[in-house]
Amino acid sequence: MVGLFLSGDLRSIADALATYYLKLGGEIQTEVWVKDRAALPDHRLLILDLTPKQILSIKGLNFTSSYERQLRKYRQGMGVFKVDWALSEPTPFTDLRARQAATVHIGNTFADVARAEREAHAGKVVDRPFVLFAQQSLFDRSRAPERKHTGWAYCHVPNGTEYDYTDIIENQIERFAPGFKDTILARHTYGPKALEAYNPNYIGGDINGGIMDIGQLYTRPTRSLTPYRTADSSVYICSSATPPGGGVHGMCGFHAARTALKDHFGIIINLP
């Protein structure tokens, strides 16, 4: 069951974390989609790296109806539409400094970016969206065959939309990098629905685990100072639907574990 990820060169964040965890004596089981607590091996605490909609669907959790009501009120944010490209050349940005940046923010002026985000949030199809573009292969040659490149991009779209943004995204990049479209060898797209199918945490393509606005920045997923705790004292939430939210930092997981250690084992831990 383990070992699946051990085939490559051990270099990445996920593999480094998992290898360290196994070294500590942890166990990993893949290919088990959890739907019912009773189907899991006998355990004392359950820690969920899941977003609220999924948590509500898992059987065997001892939640009060008022807690479930709070989880149901949790709000999702916009989704994303993502495209990956195999490219024959580096992306020919007119701005030469953009050719030396790992991330390129494509959306022109403040007014244009602000309009794109406002309209997408309001449910509209935006012709000239704010595109987050990354070109990792320029800086890490292991990503593509010799002299070839990869491109990675997404834009924010109405949650759950089925509209195909591929052309819109490619046209927007082309405005800042004329000739970009001629370098495309192949592409792969993930719309919001496909992202959710890939990882059921991304409801409607929402990659931050729920909107991170003022009402849900620290009080996520429920209005509590310790929102990692749930109404079932043996169940904790550790996903990006808890503070401090989306992104790869592991701090949600750390704080959920810290809370559980204190509640059930009397162990107090702090980071160095």
Partner 1 sequence: MAKYDAVIVGSGPNGLAAAITLQQQGLSTLLVEGSDTIGGGLRTKELTLSGYKHDVCSAIHPMAMASPFMRSLPLEEYGLSFTFARYEAAHPLLRETGAVLSRNLEETIQQLGDDGKLYRSLIQDVVDRWEILAEDTMGPLRFPKDPILLASFGWKAVLPASWVASRFKTERAKALWAGMAAHGIQPLSNWTTSAIGMVLMAVGHRFGWAIPVGGSQEHS
Nearest distance, CB of residue 79 and partner 1, angstroms = 9
Residue of the chain from 63, 108, 174, 263 that contacts partner 1 (CB under 8 A): 108
Interaction pattern, residues 238-257, with partner 1; x per rule: CB under 8 A: xxx--xx--xxxxxxxxxxx
Question: Who contacts 244 (Cβ-Cβ below 8 Å, separation ≥6)?
Answer: 218, 251, 252
Nearest distance, CB of residue 239 and ligand FAD, angstroms = 4
Binding site for ligand FAD (CB under 6 A): 33-34, 49-50, 54, 80, 82, 154, 195, 199-202, 207, 209, 214-215, 217-219, 239-240, 244, 246-248, 252
Bridge partners, residue 187, by sequence = 85
Closer by beta carbon to ligand FAD, 178 or else 249: 249
Q: Is 38 in the site for partner 1 (CB under 8 A)?
A: no
Q: Is 211 in the site for partner 1 (CB under 8 A)?
A: yes
Which helix (H) or strand (E) segment holds residue 157: the answer is strand 149-157
Q: Which does 56 bind (CB under 5 to 8 A by kind): partner 1, ligand FAD, none?
A: none
Q: Is 231 in the site for partner 1 (CB under 8 A)?
A: no
Size of the site for partner 1 (CB under 8 A): 132
Question: Who contacts 123 (Cβ-Cβ below 8 Å, separation ≥6)?
Answer: 158
Read off the amino acid at residue 111: A
Which helix (H) or strand (E) segment holds residue 153: the answer is strand 149-157
- Sheet of 79-87, strands arranged across: 131-134, 149-157, 79-87, 184-190
Q: Strand 184-190 and strand 235-237: pairing?
A: unpaired
